Chains A and B, each alone.
Chain A
Amino acid sequence: MGRYVARRLLLTIPVLLGASFLIFAMVYALPGDPIRALGGDRPLSPAVVAQLREEFNLNDPLVVQYVKYLGDLIQGDLGTDFRGREVLDTISQRLPVTIKLTVVAILIETVIGIVAGVLAGIRRNGFLDNLVLVSSTIVVSVPILVLAFVGQYVLGLQFGWFPVSGINEGWYSYLLPGLVLAAGSLAYVARLTRTSVAENMRADYVRTARAKGLPRRTVILRHTLRNSLIPVVTFIGADIGTLMGGAIVTESVFNLPGVGRAIFDSVRAQEGAVVVGIVTLLVFFFVFFNLVVDVLYAVLDPRIRYD
């Protein structure tokens, strides 16, 4: 197991390199000149522009720029944006917001998704089962952006249940954005749990558990749920990384100052260093949580062995 984890961690290096290069290239390929845009209405003098271009290596070809960036990165220097702010500072300031949002979303999808899925799975074709089926189909088929605006408008503005913007009300501010962010995964978790429970209820070993005269509670909780939750837990683990990426839309709509919002702003301003730094970090989280999931999988299911 230790060797497996070590190998997987080593593998993340080329993944991160590849990902960061791709992002780098994409930002590079964006039309327009970031330096010129920097000045806004009052254009910068040509001398300043030239100096900035030199400072940020913008005159070098793509590969050279990238290698220089990597060189700095190895020394722990993520670079600065065009206004001279350290990218590392931006990240450390904004990451907690995104982490809080993700935690709220994961909690929502786990608790509501699993409970709904289990209840639906135990009573197949019952009321709850159909409710889960219909509501999850709707949620899955609506784009997150639409969901975000509708949620903001209806729950935030019309009913006034939730704050619609910013993080001034602590964890409470994260509830609605978290719900929107989690919606798709929540629907999926409910469906996955439902299918898995329904399938496991018919498994031979559940029949054995009943033949052993175990109480119904034990049959369901110990012999059905535990096995049914293996695919669910692994999905949720892998979803952490995905949700952090999905935060770009949610944070922008709800105006949360997280890394997603930072990406959104930086792409518009063509702040290459910021975009590359943050996205690479998100890719790392994604890869990392996938590794955690694979390890977790072996813990939950003794039939899985890595070596």
Chain B
Amino acid sequence: MTRPDLSKATAPVPADGRPVLEVDDLHVEFRTRSGVVHAVNGVSYSLTQGETLAILGESGSGKSVSAQAIMGILDSPPAVITGGGIWFEGTDLLTQPEEEQRKVRGPGISMIFQDALSSLNPVYSVGFQIGEMFRAHRGMSKKDARKRAIELMDRVRIPAAARRVDDFPHQFSGGMRQRVMIAMAIALDPRILIADEPTTALDVTVQAQVMDLLKDLQAETGMGLILITHDLGVVNEVADNVAVMYAGEIVERGTVDDVFTRPAHPYTDGLMSSVPQVEAKGGRLQPIVGQPPNLARIPSGCPFHPRCSRRRLGAEAAPGRECSTDVPPLRLVVPGREAACHYSEEVLGVRAQ
């Protein structure tokens, strides 16, 4: 991938300090028997303390893979990180030995997953699994770890924590199980929590409770939150910034208010207009017209061009901005907003500078 990358120069770094996490031009591919799948192609973003960054994008756009690359839990093989850096508190994790990376998982960055039932080990009690964090990272005794597990279960508002600490995952409801996951993830006060579709598998009423819990915990601890979700209502409610992914790239980035009210990329525009009321709870991403890209054969030029209603091909295009041959870099379109489209200004309805 030799696409020009301007994102580093233009990344919106909030005024209140250095970012805790900086993902820099990350590339991940899967080398499978049937070919190379380019799942992440030059993703960059940064996160400061207390910030909530939402990551949007249709299924297969590389949201989970980029998150797992940050966590260092990709299955390799087949996954290979082919380029980029993951800077956490000033060090590039990718250059660190595995043992150092491991020590970051938990106290530094932690993650919760969509399906809490399959993500918890069925043969150990929830208390044991939460307590493992203290035993592995703090060398705590089994007994003390169990005590801390009860405190954490209280903290994530699991009723009768002391009584339920020795229960097994299958004995909890979906919402309670996700709370167990959250308890485990925040056990060591991580600087960053990555939540990969934390509420997708839950009932609507429970979804709101779990999101409230996450927000409250973030307010208490000041951790940065990367929220991967399909729920535009949730993004609108809890996120500060949003990054929209398409074909393993970030195609638009800005504050939630800006991006939601005036998208600068035709793909984002399509996402927003496919939901009648973004503000409504449960407004979800709808599939937009056309086939999702084949990541083993990403289209030339702008990867979105086969589906884009605004594309300009051949003579229609401005010089150097032919949608099927010229790659649109992620660039600053208006202050605080980046998009990877040759014609973002038109999408925004403002004139090109």
Tell me which of B98, B110, B123 contacts A211 (CB under 8 A): B110
Q: Mark B100-135, 1 if CB is under 8 A from A, else 0.
A: 001111110011010100111111010000001100
Query: Which residues 192-225 of A have a CB within 8 angstroms of B?
Result: 202-205, 207-216, 218, 223
Q: Tell me the complex Cα distance, A204–B102, Å.
A: 18
Query: Could you tell me which residues of chain B, from 43 to 87, have a CB within 8 Å of some CB in chain A?
Result: 68, 71-73, 75
Assess A212 versus B136: contact at CB under 8 Å? Given A202-B75, A303-B168, A303-B170. Answer: yes
Is B225 close to A, CB under 8 A?
no
Contact B136 A227, beta carbon cutoff 8 Å: no
Contact A301 B122 (CB under 8 A): yes
Judged by a CB distance under 8 angstroms, whether B244 is at the interface is: no
Please judge, given known A-B contacts A202-B75, A303-B170, whether A212 and B133 are in contact too, CB under 8 Å: yes
Nearest chain B CB to A224 CB, angstrom units: 10
Known A-B contacts A223-B121, A227-B123, A302-B123; A212 and B71 likewise in contact (beta carbons under 8 Å): no
Do residues A204 and B113 form an inter-chain contact, with CB atoms below 8 A?
yes
Residue ID in chain B nearest A203 by CB atoms: B118
Residue in A202, A208, A300 with the greatest tally of chain B CB atoms within 10 Å? A208
> Roughly how many angstroms separate A226 CA and B72 CA in the complex, as a whole number?
24
State the CA gap A34–B301 with chains docked (Å).
91
| Contacts A213-B136, A302-B168; A208 near B122 (Cβ below 8 A) | no
User: By the criterion CB–CB under 8 Å, are A213 and B122 in contact?
Assistant: no
Task: Enumerate chain A residues within 8 angstroms of B71, measured Cβ to Cβ.
Answer: 210-211
When each residue 80-124 of chain A gets 1 if its CB lies under 8 Å from chain B and 0 otherwise, what string results? 000000000000000000000000000000000000000000000
Find the A residue at minimum CB distance from B168.
A302
Interchain CB contact (< 8 A) of B102 among A208, A215, A230? A215
**Contacting residue for B121 out of A205, A216, A300, CB 8 A:** A205
CA distance A230 to B124 in the complex (A): 13
Distance between Cα atoms of A226 and B137 in the complex (Å): 22
Of B107, B113, B115, B123, the contact of A301 (CB 8 Å cutoff): B123
Shortest Cβ distance from A125 into B: residue = B77
Alpha-carbon distance between A209 and B123 when the two chains are bound, in angstroms? 13
Q: What CA separation (Å) do A201 and B121 show in the bound complex?
A: 12
The reply on B149 being an interface residue by CB < 8 A is: no
Please state if B113 and A208 are interface contacts (CB–CB under 8 Å): yes
- Given A211-B111, A212-B136, A218-B136, verify A205-B122 contact (CB < 8 Å): yes
Interface presence of B184 (CB below 8 A): yes
Q: Is the CB of A211 within 8 A of B120?
A: no
For A230, list chain B residues within 8 Å (CB): 123
Task: Choose among B104, B106, B115 the residue with the greatest number of A CB atoms under 10 Å from its CB.
Answer: B106
Give the residue name and chain of the B residue nearest to A214 (CB). Answer: B136
**By the criterion CB–CB under 8 Å, are B136 and A215 in contact?**
yes
Smallest CB gap from A227: residue in B: B123
Chain B residues contacting A223 (CB-CB under 8 Å) are 121
Knowing A210-B105, A213-B102, A303-B168, the reply to whether A205 touches B136 (Cβ < 8 A) is no
CB pair B122 A303 closer than 8 Å? yes
A213–B106 CB distance below 8 A: yes
B73 touches A207 (CB 8 A): yes
Interchain nearest-CB distance for B159 vs A (Å):
21
In the assembled complex, the Cα of A148 lies from the Cα of B320 at a distance in Å of 78
Chain A nearest CB: distance from B161 CB in Å?
A: 19
Indicate whether A204 sits within 8 Å of B123 (C-beta atoms), given known contacts A211-B105, A213-B103. no
Q: How far is the CA of A213 from the CA of B72 in the complex (A)?
A: 10
Please state if B104 and A213 are interface contacts (CB–CB under 8 Å). yes
Q: Which has the most chain B C-beta neighbours within 10 Å: A202, A211, A300? A: A211
CA distance A250 to B75 in the complex (A): 45
Report B-chain residues with C-beta under 8 Å of the C-beta of A301. Answer: 122-123
Which B residues touch A218, using CB under 8 A?
132, 136
What is the bound-complex CA distance between A223 and B132, given in angstroms?
11
- Whether A212 touches B184, Cβ cut-off 8 Å, given contacts A202-B75, A204-B118, A205-B118, is yes
Tell me if A212 and B118 are in contact (CB < 8 A).
no
B residues 294-316 near A (Cβ < 8 Å) are none
Q: Which residues of B contact A209 (CB under 8 A)?
A: 121
B interface footprint on A26-65 (CB within 8 Å = 1, 0 otherwise): 0000000000000000000000000000000000000000
What residue of chain A has the Cβ atom nearest to residue B133's Cβ?
A: A212
17 additional contacts (CB under 8 A) given A202-B75, A301-B122: A204-B113, A204-B118, A207-B73, A207-B119, A208-B120, A208-B181, A210-B71, A210-B105, A211-B111, A212-B136, A213-B105, A213-B133, A218-B132, A230-B123, A302-B123, A302-B125, A303-B122
4 closest A-B pairs by CB: A213-B105, A213-B106, A204-B118, A205-B121
Q: List 8 A-B contacts (CB under 8 A).
A: A202-B75, A204-B115, A211-B73, A213-B136, A227-B121, A302-B122, A302-B123, A303-B168
